[in-house]
Amino acid sequence: MDLIWEGIKEAIRLLLTLDREVLSITLLSLALSGLATLVSLVLGVSTGVVLALNRFPGKRLVISLVNTGMGLPPVVVGLFVSMLLWRNGPLGMLHLLYTPMAIVIAQAVIATPIIAGLSLAALQQLPSNLRLQILTLGASRRQMIWMLIKEARLPLLAAIMAGFGGVISEVGASIMVGGNIKGSTRVLTTATVMETSKGNFDMAIALSVILLLLAFTVNAALTHIQQRRRPR
Amino acid sequence: MNTLGPVLLEAENLEVYRGETLALQLPKWTLRAGEIMGLIGPNGAGKSTLLLYMAGLLDPAKGHLSFDGTILQSTSDFAAYRQRVTLVFQEPLLLDTTVEQNIGVGLRLRGIPKAERKVRIKESAERFGVAHLLTRHARELSGGEAQRTSLARACAVKPQILLLDEPFSSLDPPTREALQQDLGRMLRDTGCTAILATHDLMEAACFADSLAVLRAGRVVQCGPVGEVVNHPVDEFVANFVGMETLLVGVVRGCESGLFTLQVGNQEIAGTGDATLGQELTVGVRPENVTLSLHPEGETSARNCFPGRVTLITSRGPFLRVELDCGFFLCAYVTGRSKEELGLAVGCPVFASFKATAVHLIRK
């Protein structure tokens, strides 16, 4: 019991004094997962739009693949991205393995299907004639797509948060492709794993609390938006 | 009734598929400038397909559409055409923003500057009675207000052709009537060309100059409202336009625009050109049949038959009475005359109708 209590007290001290290392790990986590989410946003929403607005053979299969991808295990992504970026691998010449960029790539691979699947669902839940209604008001196809995205903005926001929540909390891929290098690829989750294995529970608890706070903030924002949208 | 201008929209040899099924087939179809065409037909007859196609939203499998004398071919032709035509759907389909933004969306898409946009939004909102709701959010509107906003949004862009796909069918009767009046006034004031799809004949009849009756993707009959309502080309149209009594008989006599038709053992007088011995179908609208307890000697009705009531059903404010007069006859009476006549199933009554109420159905 003492161990846990001491750990919590030390964690509070680390948080309140804004410990340099804790702060830098937190900011790096936010930056890498934020960038990965941004990349996934572009790729995922585009995929969602293409799937929602077009009819083509094999569409159902593609949607099933995207939906499966929403539950992609981070370790599997870590394995494949590692192999791709390995020195002798197909993208080895880029020398990206064990760099922050490798984490961004792996996390984008994890978040893209999540955002694609949820944005497809968001667009499909719009009335089916809305697309035609916008066109008949004089919109070009591009304007129509932009207006549909704006109409689905609230569920799309939820998709972004789900994507971000998925990557900020994953550890498998980050540790495999990033290597948990201090000051370079050490993020909240990989640091927590390391500190726990070293028996530094105070640090591990401090990092976990920050992670939980981030998760809470994301969920609170999501809930706020959901509640703001009153039913028609 | 608007004065009709030259042909504005013309379809030729048109075939439109929805999925695998041939949903619309128009060998030749025209809409004149200023014309208001009512489009009637049962569900699935192709009314929506016709409107979607005329709105430039569907690709034809065959044939073409010409607007103002020019055949529409390229994607950019259709894009330009879509700027001149607007479709209003049955559901309001408003955007998730304010009423003002909704009404202005077509204007913004056309790059109209803000100052002019404001004027036109206000004008259109006033026309449809939503000027006091401009700052309201679309989610907070009632069904009627939402549909008014949808119509105001369509009219704000001053379309050359306004397409209306059953815009009133999801509204309650008082709301519907008020909105119908506003739309009617707007159409008269602007001289806008329009197509109104509906399954309500009365609605079509009170707006339209002409009626097109659709069945299974084809226009069965198209012409001025009076002509379609009174001279349906076949039994399908006759049924659809409310001509409930259809009688088949042989012409026994004809002179100076008047003919007598033998139906069963009875002879019916009608007006129109017929030839002796010809087999004819005639229709009688139920509202043109009068019921009485005694043969009416002094009225101008040439047709008067004794009969027996076989069925009485309610039709809202009216009662629909089916009679056996040696042939089937259907009449509408008010609740009050039912009481006065003491109508009940099995009752003997006299049914009379004028010769001019007997409409020849061309085959």
Q: What is the mean pLDDT of residues A189-218?
A: 89
Domain count, chain A: 1
pLDDT value, residue A229: 58
For the stretch B271-283, pLDDT in tens is 888 888 888 888 8
Domain holding A65, by residue range, is: 2-228
pLDDT tens per residue across all 363 residues of chain B? 446 789 999 999 999 998 889 999 999 999 999 999 999 998 889 999 999 999 999 988 899 899 999 999 988 899 999 999 999 999 999 999 999 999 999 999 999 999 999 999 999 999 999 999 999 999 999 999 999 999 999 999 999 999 999 999 888 888 888 888 889 888 888 889 999 998 888 788 778 889 999 999 999 999 998 888 878 888 888 888 888 888 888 999 888 888 999 988 889 999 888 888 888 888 898 989 999 888 866 567 889 999 999 999 988 888 999 999 989 999 999 988 888 888 889 989 999 999 988 888 765
Amino acid (one-letter) located at A102: A
* Mean local confidence (pLDDT), A110-121: 96
| pLDDT at site B98 | 95
Q: What is the rounded CA–CA span in Å between residue B54 and residue B354?
A: 41
For residue B35, give both structure tokens.
């014309």
Name residue A128's beta-bridge partners.
Answer: none
The residue ranges of DSSP E strands in B132-209, in sequence order, are: 161-165, 193-198
Partnered with residue B359 across adjacent β-strands are B283
Shortest CA distance from B54: residue in chain A: A136
Identify the residue among A131, A132, A134, A136 best suited for mutation to test binding to B, counting B beta carbons within 10 A and taking the highest: A136
Q: How far apart are CA B338 and CA B321, in angstroms?
A: 10
* B21: CB partners within 8 A, 6+ apart: none
Q: Are A10 and A202 in contact (CB under 8 A)?
A: yes
Instruction: Give the Cα-Cα-Cα angle B295, B297, B302 (nearest 5 degrees).
Output: 90
Residue B235 confidence (pLDDT): 84
**Which pLDDT tens digit goes with each residue over A41-58?**
999 999 999 999 998 999
- The CA distances from residue A208 to A10, A181, A211, B280, in Å, are 13, 19, 5, 90
Whether A136 sits inside 8 A of B110 (CB atoms) is: no
Kindly provide the b/e burial profile for residues B261-280, where b requires at least 16 CB atoms within 10 angstroms of the residue's own CB. bebeebebbbbbebeeeeeb
B42: exposed, middle or buried (Cβ count in 10 Å: 0-12, 13-18, 19+): middle
Position of tokens 């799937």?
A51
Query: How many helices (H) and strands (E) are present in chain B, helices listed first?
Result: 10, 20
Q: Count helices and strands (H / E) in chain A.
A: 11, 0
Edge-to-edge strands, sheet with B193-198: B70-71, B62-67, B7-18, B21-32, B218-224, B210-215, B36-40, B193-198, B161-165, B85-88
What share of chain A has pLDDT > 90, as a percent?
Answer: 69
Higher per-residue confidence, A229 vs B69: B69
Residues in chain A: 232
Query: Alpha-carbon Rg of chain A, whole angstroms?
Result: 21
At how many degrees (to 10) do helices B143-156 and B173-190 cross?
10
Tell me if residue A153 falls in helix, strand or coil.
Answer: helix
Ranges of H-type helices in A125-200? 130-136, 141-151, 153-168, 172-178, 188-198
Do the Cβ atoms of A136 and B87 come within 8 Å?
A: yes
Angle (CA) B80-B214-B319 rounded to 5° is 130
Q: What's the confidence (pLDDT) of residue A232?
A: 40
Domain boundaries, chain B: 7-239, 246-361
CATH architecture of the domain covering B246-361: Beta Barrel (2.40)
- Which pLDDT score is estimated for B216? 92
Enumerate chain B positions whose Cβ falls within 8 A of a Cβ in A: 52, 55-57, 79, 82-83, 85-87, 89, 91, 93, 95-96, 105-106, 109-110, 139, 153-154, 157, 163
Of A129, A137, A153, the CB nearest to B105: A137
* Contact (CB<8Å) A127/B95: no
Identify any residues that bridge with A82 across adjacent strands, giving them in sequence order. Answer: none
Cβ contact B109–A132 (<8 Å): no
A225: closest CA of chain B, how far (Å): 14
Contact B93 A133 (CB under 8 A): yes
Domain at B7-239, CATH class: alpha beta
Which pLDDT value is given to residue B362? 61
The CATH number for A169's domain is 1.10.3720.10
DSSP B46-73: SHHHHHHHHTT-S--SEEEEEETTEE--
Question: What are the structure tokens assigned to B119, written together?
Answer: 């004027």
Cross-chain Cβ contact B89/A139 below 8 Å = no
Distance of residue B89 Cα from the nearest chain A Cα, in angstroms: 8
Chain A interface residues (partner B, CB cutoff 8 A): 127, 129-130, 132-133, 135-140, 143, 147, 150-151, 153, 230, 232
User: Which residues of chain B make contact with A137, given a CB cutoff of 8 A?
Assistant: 86, 105-106, 109, 153-154, 157
Distance from CA of B93 to the nearest CA of A (A): 6
**Taking CA atoms, what residue in B is nearest to A139?**
B109
Mutation target vs B (from A128, A132, A137; most B CBs, 10 A cutoff) = A137
pLDDT in tens, B109-150: 999 999 999 999 999 999 999 999 999 999 999 999 999 999
Distance from B175 to chain A by nearest Cα, in Å? 19
* Helix (H/G/I), strand (E/B), else coil: A104: helix
| Residue % of chain A over a pLDDT of 70 | 97
pLDDT value of position A231: 45
CA atoms within a 13 Å half-sphere pointing along the CA-CB vector of A81: 28
Residue A221: the pLDDT is 80
Residue in chain A lying closest to B91 (CA): A129
Q: Can you give the pTM of this predicted structure? A: 0.81
CA distance B8 to chain A (A): 18
Contact A136 B85 (CB under 8 A): yes
CB atoms within 10 A of CB B118: 15
In three state form, how does the secondary structure of A87-99 look? CCCCCHHHCCCCC
Q: Is B248 helix (H, G, I), strand (E, B) or coil?
A: strand
